[in-house]
Structure formats: structure tokens, C-alpha cells
Amino acid sequence: MVNNWITILSFTYPHEAHLAKTKLESEGFEVMIKDELTVQVDNFYSNAIGGVKLQVSENDYDRALQVLKDSGYIIDAPQNDHKLLLRIAEIEYQSIENDEVSERTIEPFALYSTQENWLLVAWCRLRDDYRTFRLDRILRLEIVTDTFEPHKDTLQEYFEKCRNKFLQPLT
């Protein structure tokens, strides 16, 4: 039977993941660590790829989660604590192609930099899809009181979708 591995917890640094891994292994769980080597190359990659991931078998998830809670690795927070960070924004954005200005309502997802620009990845309600906005092209930004639920994608998964979208063969 093939194990389906599922991420139970993410860490910024590999040594944090190894401590939790040791705890789970001492309780008899089979555990894997994903993306450890990527983060060891450069710690700044950790946030971009969703951290160093501690994974367990899908069948062991609930029991392993309880072990991590009981041992203090996971602390349940009140349900609405995250809402302050997940605020909708309204922007005026000047297109790089034709300098046209459009108003967008966005759900911020990630922020990263290239050698030349800072870029904001957000769910654009106008386009009903992820869009990337250069920060220097945002003419106005207003954070509104409305909130949104976090998206399930990681930045790494977003980049994979983009790569697949643009590498499709022409027909």
C-alpha cells in the first residue's frame, strides 16, 4: 500500500522540524521532512516555499496532530485571530502594457522581489484569478474592513501553476 503523505506542520528552520519529527517518531509515527535542503541552501527561501514541512501518513494525521497539540508544538488559537492579516484591499493599478488605470479588489497572497521589482501576488476579484501586481504600478491602496478566508495554495504551488500555464504546447 502506498502512503499518501500530508503536511501536518510547517517550520521556518529545519532544526525545528527535526525536533517535532523526533517527538512523533518516539510515539511510533513514520515521519518525513520536505523542503529541508532547499531551506538549508538559503533560509530566505523558507517563507517563499511555505517552510520546512513535517509530513505524516494521511492515515496517521489525526493521531499525530493530537500528539503535537499535547506536546505544545501546536497551540489552538481563537478562530478569528488570523482575520486581521487577511484583509481585502482596493487598489488603482496602472497597467505596464498600456498605462491604463483600473480599479481592483484583491485578496493579498504573497509578496516577493525580483532583481528589479517588488511584486504582489493576489486573488483579483475582477479577473477571478491570481494576478501579479508590481508595487511601483499601484497608484492607490486602501485596506478595507472586509476579510477573506486564506487560500489553500502555497507560493510554490502558485509558481507551479504559472509554469504549467505558460509551458503548454501551442496547438
- pLDDT of 33-52, one tens digit each? 999 998 888 877 788 888 89
Q: Are 54 and 17 in contact (CB under 8 A)?
A: yes
What are the backbone angles phi and psi of residue 75, rounded to the nearest 5°? -120, 120
Q: What CATH topology corresponds to 81-166?
A: SH3 type barrels. (2.30.30)
Q: Over the chain, what is the mean pLDDT? A: 85
Q: Which amino acid is at 103?
A: E
| Domain topology for 5-70 | Alpha-Beta Plaits (3.30.70)
pLDDT in tens, 108-119: 888 888 888 888
Residue 2 has pLDDT above 90, yes or no: no
pTM, to two decimals = 0.51
84: confidence class by pLDDT, cuts 50, 70, 90: very low
Collapse the DSSP code of 15 into the 3-class scheme (helix H, G, I; strand E, B; otherwise coil) and give the result. Answer: helix
- Boundaries of CATH 2.30.30 in the chain? 81-166
- Local confidence band at 13 (pLDDT 50, 70, 90 cut-offs): confident
> What single-letter amino acid sits at 129?
D
Contact call for residues 81 and 133 (beta carbons, < 8 A): no
Domain with CATH 3.30.70 in the chain: 5-70
